[in-house]
Each structure stands twice: as C-alpha cells, then as structure tokens.
Chains A and B, each alone.
Chain A
Amino acid sequence: MTGMLSRTADNLYWLGRYVERAENAARLIDGTYHLSLLPITPEEHGELWRRLFQSNEELELFQSKHPDFDGDSVVNHMVLDPENPSSIVSCMDAARDNTRAARAELTTEISQCMNQTWMDIRAINMDKIHERGIQDFLDLIKERAHLFQGVIYGTMRRGEPFLFWEMGTALERAENTSRLILARSNSFHRAHRRDDGFDFYRWGTFLRSANAYSAYRQIYGDIDPVSVAEMLILNTTIPRSLLACIEDTTDILKTLRREAQCAEMSERLAAEVRSMRLDQVLRSGLENFLHDFRNQVHALSDQIRVDFMMVR
C-alpha cells in the first residue's frame, strides 16, 4: 500500500458507516412497524417503539420534542428529522457529504449513484410521506443502499480507499448487530415460547432486521432464541454476525498494515469472540458480553484513527 490521504481515508470510512447505518435503521424501523400492527397491548406497543432507542442521549433528544412513544412520532424522529443526527435523512446527508469530500478517489458511477439517491430523497414531499406510507421510503433507502454498495464493489479498484470504505461498513455492522441483540438481550435466556405464533412472528421480524431470516431458516429451521443468538454472534457465514464483522475488519487491517497496533487489537477481539462459550454467556448475562464487545469496538476505532489518520 502506498499511503492515501488520511482525511480521505476518514471520509471513506464514514461513507461506509453512514450508508450501512441508514440501511440498518430502515430495516429496524420496518420490522418494528410490522410488529406494531399485531394485536398487542398499548404498553407493549409503547415498549416496542421505545426499544428502538439504544442510548440515553437518543432517548432524551426524542423526548425533548415528542411527549409520547407513538409510532408516527418515532418514525418522524428516526427517519425524517434532519435535526436528529442519526435519522435516516441525516445519515444520507452525511453519506453524500463524504462522497463529495472523497470524490477524487471514487468512480463516476459511485458519485452518480449517490447523487441520484440524494436527489430522489430531496424530491419526496416529506409532509405527505405518511399518507403514502413510510414503507415506500424505507424500501427506497434499503434498495439504494444495496445499489450503492454494489456499485462500489463493482467499479472500485481494490486499493486502500476501497479497504477503508469496506472497514467502515464492517464496523458499523458489528455495532448495529450488537445493538440489535442488546435491545432484546433479556429474551434470549428465558427461552420461553408462546404457541400462538406471535413469538414466531417476533423472532422472524428480529431476524429480518439483521437481514438473516432466510439464512436462519436454511441453517437451523425451527426458531429457537439460543440458535438465533449463536447465529448472530458466531456464524461467520452470516455477513452481519459479530464474528464475521470482526474477522473482516482484521483481514482488512492486516492488508493495510500487518504490524499496525489496531490490526493486533482486532485479531485479539476476533479470537475472544470465537472462543466464547455461548451457554455460559447466556447464563451469566448476554448484556455484559455485549457491552464489553461494544467497548472494544470503540477502542478499536480509536486505535485505527491513531494508526492511520495522523491524529494530532
């Protein structure tokens, strides 16, 4: 590797993260929306939407503007609100901004794809979006995120810029999957099941939020929470499992610079996840494991900055 501009590497890393983040949010909200249509109590309903918030800061920002956890308010906030930095439109704005900043390293096709998406989002009348249903918008985001990633895979040279983009995508997936499991962490060890099909539907939606439903059915067949956890944490054939994401990151970092400290860190984290005993972890609490995992991912991204971005 010859060394690319640190700032541009940073732009590409964030480009990967924001597009992936927008797509993950779209899937998550889509799933929650479907669950909210099931016959459930108002308390369950509120809890369903509340679970989408995964940090206190996010929750506070929402509550400063909306009194209730009703579906429309949450969807507005998480999809359309430009003042919410993690809303889907904000993520797409940030993605476009990073595309522009890194433009000289990207192919024309990539820039065009992002511009087209951004123009299409701009052309949507946000005031009327609920009339048509939010579904169309979420579908557009998912579809364009896949298209964008496909265009990058299909047209970009496999050099350093590509690797930084790919790494941003992998780490964002690791974070998202861990958040997803964390939001459900207490339903895994109870392993209780209702026979009314509701549970089946719920876990099905959950798996779809991780883009892993059909894979799960192929590998495990019947739905069982422990298997779900195992797949999303340990199965390396699932692109969004924690282990797959960290292994991808390790490979990328080793290609970039084998002796970098962050490469070593990433390899250590992968080894740790690989050797975990799922039954033990489920007994002692999945939450601790996931919090520890997330802290290590944060430390890893910090070290990547130190090693590659000439942080002063």
Chain B
Amino acid sequence: MNNSDDNEPPKPFDEMLEPDGTVRMAYAQYGEWLDGTSKETLLRKDEQADMMFRRLGITFTVYGDAESTERMIPFDIIPRILDPNEWDYLSRGAIQRVDAINAFLDDVYHDQAILKAGRIPPELVLNNDAFRPEMLDLDLPRRIYGHIAGVDLVRTGPRDFYVLEDNVRTPSGVSYMLENRQTMMRLFPELFATNHVAPVGRYPTELRNNLKSVAPVGVDDPTIVLLTPGRFNSAYFEHAFLATEMGVRLVEGQDLFVDEGLVFMRTTEGPKRVDVIYRRIDDDFIDPLAFQPHSMLGVPGLLSVVRRGRVTLANAIGSGVADDKAMYVYVPEMIRFYLGEEPILQNVPTYSLRNPDDYKYVIEHLEELVVKEVHGSGGYGMLVGPKSTKAEREAYALRLKAEPEAFIAQPTLSLSTCPTWVEEGVAPRHVDLRPFVLSGRRTTVMPGGLTRVALKEGSLVVNSSQGGGTKDTWVLER
C-alpha cells in the first residue's frame, strides 16, 4: 500500500466538524445532542417531517416534467447553524451589498453617474434586456427598487464567504425559511430550549411594514396586495403563505385593473383601490401594454400608474438590471462608488466570455469551471466542469462559441458541507445560503435564511429543480 494522500482532493470545509474531528463552536450543543440520539429516532423524525410537509401541501412545480409536475422539496432535519460572529459578518455584508444595489438602480435610472465616471461599461447597462428605459427619471418612494433581495452565498472556509448571485427581481424561498423553522420547533422542541436560536417568525410583519413604508405619497393606510401568476406557478404555495401571514389579499392579474390612472381590484363590494403591489411576476409579464403583449398574467396599463407615482411595485420594474450575471462582476465597484466602503463579502472570480482573453481561458479549462448562462436561473442550463463528461463539454463548447456573450464562468468552489440525514445515516453534503434582505425605512436582514443542500453525494448543485433540498438555518444569539 502506498500513500496516495497526495492524490485526494482536499476535504471541503465542514460547518460542524474541524478537520481533526472536533466540533465547531456553533454546533457545540447540537453536536452533543446528535451524539446521544439514536438513528431510529432520527429516522422517525424524518418520516414525521415528510408527513407534515405533505399535509401542508408545500409543493413546487418542476417545469418540463409531464409525469409529476408537483413535487415536494426534500427537507433535511439537521439544521445549518451559524454562530453570532459569523452572522454579524454575513449580515453586514449582505446589507452592504443590497444598499449599494439600490443606490446603483436609482443612479442608472437618473443621472447615471457611475457610467459617466467610467466605472461600469455603459453598454452593459443600457443594452441590457433587464434595463427598462420606461423607468428613467422616476422618483420612487425612499429611492428603493429592490425592496426584497435574496443574496446567495457559499462558504469555503471559516471566514471565506462568497456571493454567488444577488437576487433582486422576485427572489423566492422565504416561505421555506419560515416553514422549516416551524417544522423543526414541532419536531425538536427540546433543542430550542437549550440552543438560543434567533427567531425568524416576524418576517411577514417586517415585510408588511416595509411595504407600507414605501406607499405612494399621500397614502397613509395603504392597501397592499401580493400579485401571483396563479396556482400553477412553481412558487404558488409561497405566495399564498406570505399573503396569509401578512394579512393581505392574494391577487392574480385578472383581479386587478387600471382606471383613471389608479389600480383597482375587483371585490364583492365593487372596485377597491390598491396602493402597493408585492409582485411575484417578472417584468416581462407584468403589463401587456408595456412589455410582452400576449401576457395574460399581468395588468394592462400598470406601468402608466407606476409612472404617475400612484402605485408602488415591489420590487420595482427594471430592478433586474442589477442582478444580471454580467453586472454581478461590478457589485464590488458599486459598493466602493456609492458607499465609499470596501466590500465585506467577496465575489467569486468571474470570467465573462464576451472578453476574448476570458473566452480563451474558459475553453481551455472547461473541466475545472462552472459555466452559467448570463440570463439563466434555477440551475437550468449550467455546466459543472468537474462533474461533466467529455461529450457534454464538447457540446457545451459549441454553445459558447455560438454566443459567447451569453455566458460567464467561475472556478468550481469547494462548497462547505453540513451534516445531513441521508439513507446511510448522517453524512456531509454541500450547502449554500440565501439570507433575505428587506429595504424600506431601513435595511434589515432576518437572522436566518434558506439553506439549500445538494442531497446527492459529492453534488454541488443545490437547486430544488435539480434535486436539492432545504435545511432550517439557525443563527445563535449571543
């Protein structure tokens, strides 16, 4: 037997265990509990959790799957735990990013100072599909565009957090943060008595207050609604859940109409004015008069009311220009430009294939890189180099050659792992983290978030559409 350690890839950072097997601070109490808990107990709890989610009807839709379009996102019963110091650092970093992004959006729809200063190539913004000239010179309440943001983070070491993506269009997943917590509290009440876990349950109230704080000028007691594409949308459960929790009406496009420069909803008592719309419909579909003319989901004339300042949309139309994968590269620059600060969280080094040098490098190193579509989301259409076959890489290279500007590439990060309940027992699986940032009177982030976990051994793809699951995320209080 020869020593083959040199050929083994280094073990990824584990959220619970140090390389020498000692338990990290965040997991000190939990680890002890886990040690003293039998496999049978965990198995039973796992079954209970599954039944609870099924009965709640928490499903999401998988597109392009005719057989079973309704599925459940698997829930893992082992929490992802962050200690107070880790969270302090993370939350400051997430808030900083979202503040910079809101300042950037206000700027590009007004003076465009950052473009004039040459800090971002103007064509990247102005020719971007998500840039909406219709929003130019419009003053939004509190100058906020991305009222709700989800910042996707991965971790590679104790203090090494990288931002993968800033979601400021219609980020989803917050209902899992809330339902996962409720499920955990029912399954393991004893754990919450000993661990001081920061509560996340007031999110709906905060969101509602936030939306209230950005109502159109002169509206003191605004009527808020949540606009959903309907019950066939993949995130419908979340829409209904949030509407109930916030105590606002869940509306579809057909329930709203524009008349005399205002938005109304159809009620049993006749038309009722609507002031703030938390919309979960993309820009393209929100107003058939302004954007996609054949959209049945939106509200004809909505943009004209937005332009008159008589209704607030959260998030604002045109926010997507800031979370484009091509724009991602420039977020650290935004932080420096608008806030005069250095970024707290790091970007993943990113190759833009529109750049000839980058293109050449990526083609030569496909096997080591993750390649993504600039406009893609949900983990669809990406290439994970180290996990791909030669044939897959060759096919992908043809797509890159045909349309290089549509792709970016990043080194394959060694995502941290977290103990996870799988068939064989407890085993490490790769995770990411999406904290939710709310902007209104002030910018806040809920102490927690959505932890997604790749349930397949060794897999780095955490998206629910690709077989990922979720975990409850605990932030310990001091």
| Known A-B contacts A100-B57, A111-B56, A115-B57; A1 and B255 likewise in contact (beta carbons under 8 Å) | no
Contact with B along A78-104 (1 / 0, CB 8 A): 000000000000000000010011011
A309 proximal to B (CB < 8 A): yes
Distance in angstroms between the alpha carbons of A115 and B268 in the assembled complex: 28
Is A1 within 8 A of B268, CB to CB? yes
Closest to B231 in A: A100
* B267 contacts across to A, CB distance below 8 A: 3-6, 310
| One of A97, A100, A101, A256 near B268 (C-beta < 8 A) | A256
- A100→B240 CA distance, assembly (Å): 9
Tell which of B57, B230, B237, B271 touches A112, judged by Cβ atoms closer than 8 Å.
B57
Contacts of A108 in B (CB 8 A): 56
Q: Distance (Å) between the CB of B274 and the closest chain A CB?
A: 11
What per-residue 1/0 map shows which CB atoms of A277-312 lie under 8 Å from chain B?
000000000000000000000000000000011100
CB-CB < 8 A to B252: which residues of A?
Answer: 7
Interface: B249 (CB within 8 A): yes
**Nearest CB of A to B297, in Å:** 14
CB distance from A194 to the nearest CB of B (A): 50
The proximity string for A residues 183-221 relative to B, scoring 1 for CB distances below 8 Å and 0 otherwise, is 000000000000000000000000000000000000000
State in angstroms the CA–CA spacing of A104 and B54 once bound together. 18
Question: Given A101-B231, A115-B57, are A1 and B236 neighbors across the interface (CB < 8 Å)?
Answer: no
| Contact A4 B268, beta carbon cutoff 8 Å | yes
A-B pairs with CB below 8 Å: how many? 72
Closest B residue by C-beta to A161? B268
With contact pairs A100-B236, A103-B240, A104-B243 given, residues A6 and B55 touching in the complex (Cβ less than 8 Å): no
A97 touches B266 (CB 8 A): no
Cβ B270 vs Cβ A3 within 8 A: yes
Q: A3-B270, A160-B268, A308-B268 are in contact. Are A104 and B236 (CB under 8 A)?
A: no
B221 within 8 A of A: no
Q: Are B268 and A111 in contact (CB under 8 A)?
A: no
Chain B contacts of A105 at CB under 8 A?
Answer: 244
Look across to chain A and name the residue whose beta carbon is closest to the beta carbon of B249.
Answer: A5
- Say whether, besides A7-B254, A104-B244, A160-B268, A111 and B231 are in contact (CB < 8 Å): no
Does A9 have its Cβ within 8 Å of any Cβ on chain B? yes
Please report the total number of B residues contacting A with Cβ < 8 Å. 25
> In whole angstroms, what is the CA distance A146 to B165 when docked?
49
- Cα separation A138 to B355 with both chains bound (whole Å): 67
- What separation, in Å, do the CA atoms of A164 and B268 have in the docked complex? 10
Complex contacts, B54 vs chain A, CB 8 Å: 115, 119
The smallest beta-carbon distance between A146 and chain B, in angstroms, is 19
A116 at the interface (CB under 8 A from B): yes
Q: Tell me the bound Cα distance from A299 to B231 in angstroms.
A: 30
Closest-CB distance, B50 to chain A (whole angstroms)? 12
Task: Verify A9–B268 contact, CB threshold 8 A.
Answer: yes
Residues of B within 8 A of A9 (CB): 268
> Inside 8 A of B202's CB, which chain A residues have their CB?
none
What's the nearest-Cβ distance from chain B to residue A154, in Å? 17
Check: B174 CB closer than 8 A to any chain A CB: no
Chain A residues contacting B57 (CB-CB under 8 Å) are 100, 111-112, 115
A2 sits at the interface (CB 8 A)? yes
Task: Report how far A256 CA is from B270 CA in the complex, Å.
Answer: 13
* Residues from 53 to 95 in A contacting B, C-beta threshold 8 Å: none
Complex Cα distance, B268 from A116, in Å, reads 31
* A5 near B244: Cβ-Cβ < 8 Å: no
**Binary per-residue interface labels of chain A (1-26) against chain B in the complex, 1 for a CB within 8 Å, 0 otherwise:** 11111111100000000000000000
A3 touches B272 (CB 8 A): yes
Q: A5-B250, A6-B267, A112-B57 are in contact. List 5 more A-B contacts (CB 8 A).
A: A3-B269, A100-B240, A103-B231, A112-B55, A164-B268
Interface residues, chain A, with chain B CB atoms under 8 Å away: 1-9, 97, 100-101, 103-105, 108, 111-112, 115-116, 119, 160, 164, 256-257, 308-310
Can you sample 19 A-B contacts with CB below 8 Å?
A1-B268, A3-B267, A3-B270, A4-B268, A5-B255, A5-B265, A7-B252, A100-B57, A101-B231, A103-B240, A111-B56, A115-B57, A119-B54, A256-B268, A257-B269, A308-B268, A310-B267, A310-B270, A310-B271
